[in-house]
Amino acid sequence: MKIDLPWPAKGAWTPEQIATLKQGYELGELPKDIASKVNRTPAAVRNKAYELKLTHNRAWSADEVEALRTAYASHPMGIINLDAVAEKVGRDRMAVALKASKLGLGDQARKRVEERKDRRSFKGDQTALSEFQSARSKAMIAENGHPRGFAGRKHSASTKAVISEKSKAANAARTAEERSAIAMKAVKTSAANGRAWSRGSWKAGWREIGGKNTFYRSRWEANYARYLEWLKSRGEIKDWAHKQSTFRCLTSKRGVRSYKPDFRIWENDGSAPLHEVKGWMDARSKTAIKRLRKYYPQETLVVIKEREYMAIARKVHKLIPCWEIDGKGRL
């Protein structure tokens, strides 16, 4: 019993089918139309035509070229439905692709292929890859404007929670050096844009001191932490902590209403003074110290100014590993 298959039959092309194929190409018929006559798929028709070196000789009209340009212009990212365009202009999809290539309409897609090759060339160099992607994004925005895809919209609470967890996990996976580099980049970007950075100076960054990765707002602050750890190792103090206590001045209606001194030190005699490292004293710092002493008279605050810091640095900087100096060799 003969069974009618739902797909075209496979096998060698018959002389009649080849003749129909050649005639169809001479008349400029589409592969899908020829395929229905020879009981083959459009892909099979195109492959056989390529094997026989058959081409459509029908020239492109001005209207067809304009329709092709319009179709590509409506998809600036190069994502084109060739079948739809081919049907619209009455051409084979391969003919459409070749004509688009000759007209330079497929350059955007080729650029993306080259960009993918460029990304693969970095081979794990995340810093270089990030710089490449940043430069590419800036160039696209400069050429096409910012997409503003999320402007005026807000994330849901659940989305914010997911973003927060992923951000925390990513930060926890970073080394102290990587976190320091990120902080330094933020500082330099702010400085380049003419903005003051409220979280610290250009010397701010993450350091590992006493077995803990901590963000210190200045080189002096980090060095003082090293000094305290050195004192602890010698048994001269029991322990110390960075930014351990927050003092609030809720009765104050303006200005500084909270203050977190740099260090808490637990002395061997049982006292626990606060230490604040200040290379220079601005008005805000003066107010914070004044209010701490006013509202928390039971606390002892020791302010380490430049004179006190330099005296310590000259004494111990050669004894303590990783003591930081500035670019001019100053302590």
The whole-model pTM stands at 0.43
Q: How far apart are the first and last CA of the chain?
A: 98
Comparing 232 with 92, which gets the higher pLDDT?
232
Helix-helix angle 62-73:93-102, to 10 degrees: 80
How far from the centroid of its chain's Cα atoms is residue 124's Cα? 15
What element of type H or E holds 213? strand 212-216
pLDDT in tens, 39-88: 888 888 888 888 888 876 667 788 888 888 887 777 655 556 777 777 77
pLDDT, average across residues 105-120: 61
pLDDT value, residue 309: 94
**Interatomic CA distance for residues 38 and 16, integer angstroms:** 8
In this prediction, residue 199 carries a pLDDT of 45
Helix, coil or strand: residue 247: strand
Classify residue 279 by its DSSP letter: S
Cβ distance 284 to 260 under 8 Å?
Answer: no
pLDDT band, very low/low/confident/very high, at 200 (cuts 50, 70, 90): very low
> How do residues 269-315 score in pLDDT, each as one tens digit?
999 999 999 988 888 888 889 999 988 999 999 999 999 999 999 99
Least confident of 26-35, 97-106, 158-167, 191-200: 191-200
Residues above pLDDT 70, as percent of the chain = 78
**pLDDT value of position 257:** 79
Task: Please give the residue that has the higher pLDDT: either 298 or 134.
Answer: 298
Greatest mean pLDDT among 5-19, 24-38, 108-122 lies in 24-38
Mean pLDDT across the stretch 21-30? 81
Q: Which one is predicted more confidently, 245 or 32?
A: 245
Q: Which residue has the higher pLDDT, 318 or 50?
A: 318
What pLDDT does 227 receive? Answer: 96
Assess contact for 202 and 190: CB atoms under 8 A.
no
Is pLDDT at 182 greater than 90 in this prediction? no
Copy the structure tokens of residue 96: 């459409």
Which domains are present in the chain?
15-108 (no CATH), 198-316 (3.40.1350.10)
Q: Output phi, psi for 36, to 5 deg.
A: -65, -25
pLDDT at position 21 is 86
